[in-house]
Amino acid sequence: MALLSALLNCRNPNRLPNRLLRNALSLLFLFLTFDNAFCFSAHDSYSLTRQKTHLISFTPTGFGFAPGGTANLTSLSFYIAGNTDTKWNAYFLLRRYDNEERYLEEYSLAEDNKLCMATDESRMDDTDVVLDMSDPTKWQTARTVTTTFTDESQGLYFLTFQRCEPKGEGDADAIHKLSLKFHHHFCNSSPDGQCNDHLSEGEQPLPTLYTCFGFAYTLSLFLWSYTIRKAKASESTSTLSRTIRKDIKVHHVHHVMTFLLVVKVMTVYCDALRWHYIRWTGSGEAWSVFFYFFSFLKGMMLFLVILLIGSGWSFVKPFLSDKEKKIVFVVLALQVFDNIAILALSGQTEGTGSYITWSQILHLVDLVCCAAVIFPIFWQIRRLEDAVAADELAEHSIRKLTLFKQFYQLVVAYIYFTRIIALLIATNLGYRHAWLQEFMSEGVTLMFYMLVGYKFRPIEKNPYLQVKGDSDDEDEGLNLEEFGLNEGDDEDEMSNPSTGPNAL
């Protein structure tokens, strides 16, 4: 919340970037300190102790093997609590599916104890890779199974553990608790013929993809910084006799938008490096720390910028109303919770009950944040509609109303596409084209950033800043009074609500 305090309490725009940087560095230190409590182990190693479960999905999104790819399954230690005379039927199964939906259907049946995946003859296939753990005398012995994929066996594979006997009914999971140390190593063949590419076939373009988007965001940051510097130079232009009228003004929120763009650039580059190291080493823990930090900061700043622009802060009024402040604090608090959930997920095994619970919480919090950012925009539109209804000749209010409605449409379209449409499209993509989901999401995000920056950039006669008036002097007076930018009159405006910045 220190970032928010720096934003809303800073009256000097020139000092705002320094405050943002100091608070961001403090947040990074706290994040890294907190992050040490979590184990960023390689994503293909798992350790469970006395878990109440009979079914685990180790790869919920699957792994695409190309010809020449290799899968290695290794059980280092394994134990299921129970009587020594209990009949066991347990195994690790690596099976090919047409798509993720088909796998989830089968997984759901197994979860309800209606299907034993490895022994059901109607579903067995020659390409199945099975590590049988039904013999208790071999549980404490390291066991390995390895397979190499061919043109006939290539495809999308999912790795699952299931205990079929005793069935996971009633209190069976509580009685037969599972402990294991398990390792799987998946790789695809690289151009030199070695099996050292650790990305799924549909993920291999991601390092290059994120690098290209990093260059695009860097160019956007350069153009935005140039626009800000040019506007600030125009503000200070003067002659020997008088200061030239300020047609272009840089507001506090413009600096916040700059900071958001910097964080976004860092997030994309860290993600590119993370995928690069995962591809060639199988692990990207070091870059994952920085990626999660910048992703956390980017998520907070994105929602904050949408909220501040939507409420008109620093454009229309110098401060937020109590209702708007509550929305801002609630959304940022939810974003903190959302990112804690991401960290918690990194410490859970995929497919376990706790992993599924945290995933559901994560999606719910994200949707709540998306819904919350709409309210300030909607309130601002209603205030402007009232102002237009009261004065049909208020051209400046009509222009602002039009711009706010466009901003509302942009935000809704962005949220709808990135949270819903992209996921729906991804379900219909083949595993070889899984990277297209990231391409579409990042492409829409880049377009959203560019459109918002273009519409709210500090330029002369921006509809957001344009006011009515018969002369330049009258225009300037109305501009300062309406938008609360005359610092000498701030106290008078706050003491007289009828003339203050909230009186639209």
The model's confidence at residue 460, banded by pLDDT at 50, 70 and 90, is: low
CATH number at residue 258: 1.20.1070
- 18-38, pLDDT tens digit by residue? 554 555 555 554 444 444 433
How far apart, in whole angstroms, are the C-alpha atoms of residue 178 and residue 174?
A: 9
pLDDT above 70 coverage of the chain, percent: 72
174 and 250 Cβ atoms separated by less than 8 Å: no
Output the CA–CA distances (angstroms, integers) from residue 227 to 158, 224, 254, 387, 452, in the order listed: 50, 5, 10, 31, 14
Q: Which pLDDT belongs to residue 461?
A: 55
| 356 lies in the same domain as 482 | yes
Q: Is the pLDDT of residue 4 over 70?
A: no
Average pLDDT on 307-319 reads 70
Choose among 121, 7, 41, 135: nearest CA to 80.
135
Q: Which pLDDT belongs to residue 446?
A: 96
Q: Is the pLDDT of residue 193 over 80?
A: no
Q: Is the pLDDT of residue 155 over 90?
A: yes
How far apart, in whole angstroms, are the C-alpha atoms of residue 8 and residue 318?
A: 9
Asked whether residue 503 is domain-assigned, the answer is: no
How far apart, in whole angstroms, are the C-alpha atoms of residue 14 and residue 18?
A: 8
Q: Is the pLDDT of residue 377 over 70?
A: yes
Beta carbons within 10 angstroms of residue 502's beta carbon: 17
The model's confidence at residue 270, banded by pLDDT at 50, 70 and 90, is: very high
| 310 lies in the same domain as 163 | no
How far apart, in whole angstroms, are the C-alpha atoms of residue 481 and residue 477?
A: 6
| 345 lies in the same domain as 468 | yes
Average pLDDT on 272-283 reads 88
The model's confidence at residue 353, banded by pLDDT at 50, 70 and 90, is: low
| 392 lies in the same domain as 470 | yes
- 397-452, pLDDT tens digit by residue? 677 777 778 888 888 889 888 888 887 888 778 889 989 999 999 999 999 999 99
How far apart, in whole angstroms, are the C-alpha atoms of residue 386 and residue 425?
A: 40
Sorted by sequence, the CB contacts under 8 Å of residue 381 that are 6+ apart come out as 401, 404, 405, 408
Asked whether residue 494 is domain-assigned, the answer is: no
| 302 lies in the same domain as 171 | no
Choose among 323, 322, 305: nearest CA to 314.
305
| 156 lies in the same domain as 222 | no
Q: Supply the mean pLDDT for the chain.
A: 76
| 323 lies in the same domain as 361 | yes
| 115 lies in the same domain as 209 | no
Amino acid (1-letter code) at residue 50: R
CATH number at residue 129: 2.60.120
pTM of the model: 0.76
Average pLDDT on 103-129 reads 87
| 395 lies in the same domain as 468 | yes
Q: Quote the domain boundaries for residue 428.
A: 2-37+202-237+246-487
Count the domains in the chain: 2
Average pLDDT on 90-112 reads 89
Amino acid (1-letter code) at residue 457: R
Helical segments of 237-373, H only: 252-281, 285-311, 322-346, 353-372
| 58 lies in the same domain as 170 | yes
